[in-house]
Structures are given as C-alpha cells and as structure tokens.
Amino acid sequence: PVFTDDIEAILALKRERNAVILAHNYQTPEIFHCVADIVGDSLALARKAMTVDADVIVLAGVHFMAETAKLLNPGKSVLIPDLGAGCSLADSITASDVRLMRQRYPGVPIVTYVNTSAAVKAESDICCTSGNALAIVESLGVPRVIMLPDEYLAKNIAAQTKVEIIAWKGHCEVHERFSPADIRELREAHPGVTVLAHPECPPEVVAEADFAGPTAAMSDYVGRHKPARVVLMTECSMSDNVAVEHPEVEFVRPCNLCPHMKRITLANIRAALEESRHIVTIDPGVADRARRAVERMLAI
Ligand code: 13P
Ligand code: SF4
C-alpha cells in the first residue's frame, strides 16, 4: 500500500512521456515486477535497449548500464534516477589504465566487461558480459587476450578456455565477499541445497558451486531444474525476484546487497520521469568508439 501512489504515478507518467523503464535483475521487486517494461541481465538489457520504441528510457540500474543504453540510443533521452548509482568494477579502471595495458602488451586484443565507463569501453576492442565472455574471447581467434577489469570473471573464464587471459585487479564489492566457507556452512545447515554462483565470485567459490552463470542463467536454472532448495550467491533482490515466480522453491539466504543498485527507488524513478532527470550524456568522441566496442559484442 505504501508503494501504490508511486506505482500509479509512474505508470501514468510512462504513458504521458512515451517512456519505458529498463530494470536490471538486482532491482527491488516493486520496481522489477510493478513498473519495469523490460527486465534482465546486463546482456539482455543491452540487446533490448537496441529495440526500444520510445522517446525516453529510464534505466533502473547502475550508471554503466544507462551509458550503454545511451550509446545504443543516441537520439533518445536516457535517464538514470540517481547519478550516484556506480559500480566498484567500473571504478577500478580508467581510460589511461587501458592505454597503458595496450602499450605494455602490443597487439593483444582488449576485451572489456560492460561494467565499465564509456571512456574505458572507447579504449577497448570489444565488450563482453558474464553471459557471453567465453564466446567473445574465443571469437577473436588469438592465443592471448587482455580481459578488464574483473579479475575473478577473467580467472573463471580462463578455467574454461585454452586462450591465455591477462587480467586486471578489479572486483565486484558484492560478489568478492562470498567464500568457499560460506558454501560449506550452507550445505551443512541446509542439506541438499543447490548452490548457484555468479561468475564475479572468486574462482574458489565457483569451484564449489553446483552451477555458475550470469543472473539470467541463474533464473533459467531455477525454472528448468526446480530445485527444492536453492541459494543464489549474488545480490539479494535476485532471489526476491525469482522467488515470486517459483513459490514451490525454497530460497535460502544469505545474499549481499549492492549499495549502488539500491539507490534506485520508486520515488526517484517517479522524480526522474516528472523532472527529466538525470540526463545521461556521453562525449561524442568517446561515444563513437565505445559504441563500436558494444556493437562488436552484440554482433557475436
Ligand atoms: P549480469 O546481470 O550480467 O549477470 O551482471 C551482474 C552484475 O553484477 C551487474 O551489475
Ligand atoms: Fe557493480 Fe557488483 Fe553492484 Fe553489479 S553488483 S553494480 S558489479 S558493485
């Protein structure tokens, strides 16, 4: 009941402004289930952003996702309800760091996780998400690639390919906190529990999980296998959102909160639509090069 006013106002504003709301899987259930038009993981949001037929896109997620939506929709107004919704991975690397890596490893292609600024993407050869990283790395047909900036994603992909991967030292502040000891305790406390881990978790965690994949793959896994008990080693709202669709499955916590994702609320989505804020802009010189890296990824 507390949310009803904001939900009704947002639905009306979307019609008035010809706006759509894209929401990441880590958004809270009232955003994910009640006001979003398009939901998904980072890859799905990037793909679906290309097909949006609206004047305004509100990105309920973090800043790099809003930038990606803007790169793919240069003529549309892209809004992010809170400019402070950042990401520890995006903050771990700058464009000049990428230039230094290129100097240090001449001729080695640079694959950049979408969890980066447009300026970093602009210095890269191609982007990837956790859902397509292996395919992207192998598509390049080279023995060695640089993969930035998530050290754990890079190591988790390296374990699945013969391609040598040079990593950076960035970490997701949500996923780096899970440990193999957490998994052992969970298995002891909840016998038979199925453990699904995100590839941003440390490799020791992925090694002890039953399955590792991006948020969309976790959701599919629950739908396909319908485990009696499951734990999603990822951001808390993920379990809340998937649980709504699978009341027969017991979702075991713990989980970790992403403070950046949690900055987005119904109240600031409403304000974004009412006041056209905050408009995402990207320097045109940066945008053309960053778009090329994202489009190369989407073509694979
Ligand atoms: P995916 O949705 O691509 O799995 O990414 C997870 C994430 O941490 C996004 O911020
Ligand atoms: Fe960044 Fe991790 Fe938060 Fe995703 S969950 S936005 S990777 S800090």
Q: What is the pLDDT of residues 204-239, one digit of tens each?
A: 999 999 999 999 999 999 999 999 999 999 999 999
**pLDDT attached to residue 91:** 98
DSSP label at residue 253:
P
Does residue 114 have a known ligand-binding role? yes
Ligand 2 nearest atom to the CA of residue 87, by list position: 1
Amino acid type, 112: T
- Closest-lying ligand to the alpha carbon of 258? 2
Does residue 219 have a known ligand-binding role? no
Residue 113 Cα, ligand 1 centroid: separation in angstroms?
10
Band of pLDDT at residue 50, cut at 50, 70 and 90: confident
**pLDDT attached to residue 254:** 82
Band of pLDDT at residue 1, cut at 50, 70 and 90: low
Spell out the domains of the chain, with CATH numbers in brackets: 4-86+262-281 (3.40.50.10800), 90-171 (3.40.50.10800), 175-257 (3.40.50.10800)
Residue that the structure tokens 């599919």 belong to: 220
- Closest-lying ligand to the alpha carbon of 87? 2
42 lines ligand 1 (CB under 6 A): yes
ipTM above 0.95, yes or no: yes
For residue 175, the Cα-to-chain-centroid distance in whole angstroms is 12
